[in-house]
Structure 1
Amino acid sequence: MSMDPSADHGLQQLEARVREELALLAYPGRDWVRPRTHASGQHVHDVLIVGGGQAGLAAAFALKREGVADVLVVDAAAPGQEGVWESFARMSHLRTPKRTVGLEFGIPSLSAPAYYRARHGDAAWDRIDRIERTRWMAFLRWFRRMTGVQVLNHTACSGLGPADGVPAGEPPLVAVSVTTTADDGRVLPERTLLARHVVLATGYDGCGAWRIPPAIAARVSPDRIVHSNQPGIDFAALAGKRVGVLGHGASAFDNACVLLEHGAASVDLCFRREVLPTVNPHRCVEFTGFLKHFYELDDALRWRINRHFEVHDQPPTQNGFDRATGFANFRWHAGSPWLDVADEGDGVRVVTPHATFHFDHLLCATGSVVDYDARAELRTLGALVQRWRHRHTPPAEEASESLGEYPYLGPHFEYRPLRPDDAGQAWVSRVKAFNFSSIVSMGPHTTSSSGHKYATPRLVAGITALLMAEQADALLPALQAYDELELRLPDADASRNAA
């Protein structure tokens, strides 16, 4: 609880407004999806969302607002620790501008700007350009509480597959294997949940895994190297150490800042590009037409745009760059890929085109790779889904092996089965890639708060359309049987009308 009574009062007023706006916008306000039960008697969830971070919360709330009540969210993290913000995100502020909205599904009082101003005051809001990372996480916790989204924490998805025992002619179901960790640390026996639709809101690494380049990992002792996005790095243990960082993006600079703040003797940041990027191409396309309609562009243009982002990467944030370069023991080296890396005595020798370094520890800010085998929920899907290399062959100068591995998604984030005519693969399209793996198909903003405003309605529309189609057979009988009176005539008028 805040020590500032005015801040508490402001938040209480905002929460009252949230409840009022939700009530005002409740029409038609009824759950309309016909329940479904498996032949075994097991309950079937309408939607199961894997991941309770910002994308999962946005999707769950939007579905709830559209009258889809049976939505279950599962997350391996503890309550309030979902997502990246207090695990491996180490920036001081978000990259996106402070006025970015999208999670609130059109409810102004539920927006991040409204929360920030109520909680911290208008003056604090005016002073910032971007929201602080820890305050963003505080907003997400508040958002979850105010929207009533239910998250089953300490529960990890351990696999997906088609549900057995679905009668012929009925829509397929997805079997979701989950493992739950008890309060005492025991991993409980795996169990299976059933769902009509599954949304993978698994973030930036939802396409595979964070990965240190194999050629580097193979030549360095595991206790001397770490990926920048690994949770739980013991930065204090690196005090007094010479640390080499590979990478030029925000994660590289953010981790360098944390290393230096924890007393690293020196940090040398190396990257292969000859010049540090200074222009963020993503800012160019933050407008409604692009964010809302990227999917509708032709394959060649979508590919070329993604190829441009691959070649012309984002720079580090100004804040991260300024923090790092403010340390006298920080140096950055352009045009310096690590040509040779090897353990040497008590440290690691790193050779670049311009110098040879001797480090005590290495940190690789080398991003993620597309690897369907690296994630439990993707292992079965990997062999069954269409990828961009199956659908588009770019000219040689635009070729990209990594882009070709991304899934070729349908209009509502659904995976497309590799063999569409195979009934055994029909369940594949009931799984939605609402994570970074959607970038080539849907654009670069699905995992970003700047894109939720447009991505979430597209996702939800696809789910509700299928739910409606599955119960269309009941529409006419229900309409014909409907007899709730809306007009009550006086007895005399009723008699005269009858005559």
Structure 2
Amino acid sequence: MTLPHDAAAQESLRLLGYDTANLIAPLDETTHDVAIVGGGQSGVAIAYALRRAGVTNVTVIDAEEDESALAWRARARMRTLRTPKTVSGPELGNPALTFSAWYDGVRGAGAFDAIDRIATSDWADYLTWFQRQVDVSVRRGVRVTDIKPAGAGRLRLHLASAEKEWTEDARKIVLATGVSGTGTPNIPHILSTLPRQLYAHTADAIDFSALRGRNVAVLGAASSAFDAAATALESGAAEVHVYSRRPELVVAPPTGARPNPLVQDVFHLADDSERWRQNVAKRASVPPESVERAAAFPNYHLHIAAEWTSASERNRQVVVAADGTRSFDFVIAGTGYQQDPATRPELATIAPFVARWSDVYTPAEGLASKLLGSAPYLGSGYEFTEKIPGTAPWLADLHVFSIGAGNSFGRPVGDIPSLRIGVPRLADAIARDLVLADLHRARSVPAGAER
């Protein structure tokens, strides 16, 4: 059954010439012009943007077997989006593909105006609808195990599923891998020696129902930590203790000024010293609604200026020494992510060639940060750059559109606010590179494909 908002979406795509022919000349030895790793909101939006640009030989792969395991459904524990409802998303300027168009189509005219924030579950449902409208297929259950150069203008993806292993070649690869990005969840050393069944990171698929009647510690006091704490409390945890090493909780003002999006849009053009200074100055905060959600429970406890000095296993519990000694049945680490490419198995082959920030910039005294320094130093098209110039020019064909690009672009790349300007910028860079590489064998535009 075609609903009116579906028909409007399809008509808008027809009017914009979305079904244009592929404008990139095929190469016999290459499977894909572009391979996108990650089938979440960024991966689908990038494929949509590339198709609009006339780059249609694109594949999108995702390691998760089923859409239900994607971040917005499995690991986004806030009730509503933190992004204001009016911020543009993956529709890239097409009003018929906006969340508001979908929401009014499903709930009735004026429904979008009546809500204050977008419910997380509604956003997940909208993304499913959006993917269907733009006709982007995602090959699920496909993991990347390695990436290697495979000759001039080609990269080789080593892939695996539950049944087999194989390789495919692509001219361009985009890593749209969300919050894990080019690294991994940041597990503090104090937790890493504990039995794995006694702790989890907020990135993990946590069985909160198993925490009913249990005492839970949450290490960290940013958004994901408080979302996990509230979810544990709502699931019946006996007690939840949130620990912050800071002397005070950093709560975002409910109606305070937000970062100027135009300034963020040109962040990558600032010099390295300014970008580094701004990244160091950032302080992770927690929205007031996340704090209030947890604080509504009498069995919630907040510990500030309470750095953990030890954590050890005793009788299947975690004994924590901070502002006193307490025992917990389970620990949740809301401690963010690190972005060193060498820590991701599928990037191990290429990591030695990749420039990190520490390779290209030495901060002033007092501004050093190992975490920031280990992140990749990207070019203006989100591409990896070479640690030693001239040794790995093929790195320019690997693009990062995930949190791993945050240091270079000044915002959480892959989050909703980054899509409006970031996805078109990335698509333009990819199309430009492909066309320039093909000038020696340029072909005419197929009949009917003129735009």
**So what's the TM-score if we normalise by structure 2?**
0.94
Whichever residue aligns with residue 430 of structure 1, its letter is D
Q: Show the counterpart of 1:85.
A: 72
Q: Show the counterpart of 2:196.
A: 222
- How far the C-alpha of 1:28 sits from its partner, in A, is 9.5
- The partner residue of 2:157 within 157, 173, 176 is 176
Q: Show the counterpart of 1:445.
A: 412
Retained in 1: the 8 A contact 2:148–2:349?
A: yes
Q: Show the counterpart of 1:327.
A: 297
Q: String of CA shifts for 1:431-472, please: whole Å, max 9, x gaps.
A: 001111111111213121011001111111111111111222
Whichever residue aligns with residue 357 of structure 1, its letter is R
Retained in 1: the 8 A contact 2:157–2:167?
A: yes
Q: Show the counterpart of 1:421.
A: 390
Q: Distance in 2 between matches of 1:268 and 1:92?
A: 20
Q: Distance in 1 between matches of 2:276 and 2:63?
A: 34
Pick closer, same or farther for the CA change 1:282–1:148 going to 2, 3 Å: farther
Retained in 2: the 8 A contact 1:52–1:82?
A: no
Q: String of CA shifts for 1:47-85, please: whole Å, max 9, x gaps.
A: 000000011011100000011010100001134336311
Name the count of aligned residue pairs: 448
- The partner residue of 1:373 within 342, 360, 364 is 342
Q: String of CA shifts for 1:104-143, please: whole Å, max 9, x gaps.
A: 1211111112212222234542343221111111111111
Q: Show the counterpart of 1:313.
A: 284
Matches within 5 A, 1:340-355: 340-352=310-322, 354-355=323-324
Comparing both chains, which one has the higher relative contact order based on Cα–Cα distances under 8 Å and sequence gaps of 6 or more? 2
Pick the structure with greater CA Rg: 1
Q: String of CA shifts for 1:207-229, please: whole Å, max 9, x gaps.
A: 211132122221x3322222122
More moved, 276-285 vs 298-307: 276-285
1:33 aligns with 2:24: yes
Q: Show the counterpart of 1:403.
A: 372
SS at match of 1:33: coil
Q: Distance in 1 between matches of 2:143 and 2:79?
A: 28
SS at match of 1:350: strand
More moved, 124-133 vs 318-327: 124-133
Q: Distance in 2 between matches of 1:12 and 1:189?
A: 40
- The partner residue of 2:179 within 197, 204, 228 is 204
- The partner residue of 1:391 within 342, 348, 360 is 360
- How far the C-alpha of 1:280 sits from its partner, in A, is 6.5
- How far the C-alpha of 1:152 sits from its partner, in A, is 0.7
SS at match of 1:411: coil
Give the % identical residues. 33
- How far the C-alpha of 1:339 sits from its partner, in A, is 1.4
Matches within 5 A, 1:411-490: 411-422=380-391, 425-475=392-442, 478=444
- The partner residue of 1:104 within 91, 100, 103 is 91
Q: Show the counterpart of 1:292.
A: 265
Retained in 2: the 8 A contact 1:254–1:320?
A: yes
1:116 aligns with 2:87: no
- How far the C-alpha of 1:281 sits from its partner, in A, is 12
Q: Distance in 2 between matches of 1:82 and 1:15?
A: 25
- How far the C-alpha of 1:483 sits from its partner, in A, is 11
- The partner residue of 2:232 within 259, 263, 267 is 259
1:139 aligns with 2:126: yes
Whichever residue aligns with residue 455 of structure 1, its letter is G
Q: Distance in 1 between matches of 2:447 and 2:239?
A: 78
Retained in 2: the 8 A contact 1:282–1:314?
A: no
Pick closer, same or farther for the CA change 1:393–1:474 going to 2, 3 Å: same
Q: Distance in 2 between matches of 1:275 and 1:123?
A: 41
Q: Distance in 2 between matches of 1:278 and 1:322?
A: 11
Pick closer, same or farther for the CA change 1:378–1:252 going to 2, 3 Å: same
Pick closer, same or farther for the CA change 1:192–1:27 going to 2, 3 Å: closer
Q: String of CA shifts for 1:30-58, please: whole Å, max 9, x gaps.
A: 321100111xxxx4311000000011011
SS at match of 2:266: helix
Q: Distance in 1 between matches of 2:22 and 2:122?
A: 34
Q: Distance in 1 between matches of 2:243 and 2:432?
A: 49
Q: Distance in 1 between matches of 2:397 and 2:417?
A: 26
Retained in 1: the 8 A contact 2:253–2:288?
A: no
**So what's the TM-score if we normalise by structure 1?**
0.85
Retained in 1: the 8 A contact 2:34–2:57?
A: yes
Q: Distance in 1 between matches of 2:127 and 2:373?
A: 34
* Backbone CA RMSD of aligned residues: 2.3
Q: String of CA shifts for 1:313-341, please: whole Å, max 9, x gaps.
A: 122x2332222111111111111111121
- How far the C-alpha of 1:283 sits from its partner, in A, is 7.5
Retained in 1: the 8 A contact 2:341–2:375?
A: no
Q: Distance in 1 between matches of 2:187 and 2:108?
A: 42
1:48 aligns with 2:35: yes
- The partner residue of 2:14 within 23, 29, 33 is 23
Pick closer, same or farther for the CA change 1:483–1:275 going to 2, 3 Å: closer
SS at match of 2:327: strand
- How far the C-alpha of 1:276 sits from its partner, in A, is 0.5
Q: Distance in 1 between matches of 2:447 and 2:306?
A: 77
Q: String of CA shifts for 1:197-242, please: whole Å, max 9, x gaps.
A: 0000001111211132122221x332222212211x2222221111
Whichever residue aligns with residue 420 of structure 1, its letter is P
Q: Distance in 2 between matches of 1:55 and 1:254?
A: 23
SS at match of 1:397: coil
Matches within 5 A, 1:56-67: 56-67=43-54
More moved, 46-55 vs 207-216: 207-216
Unaligned runs of 5+ in 2: none
1:250 aligns with 2:241: no
Q: Distance in 1 between matches of 2:138 and 2:50?
A: 14
Q: Show the counterpart of 2:170.
A: 195
Q: Show the counterpart of 2:308.
A: 338
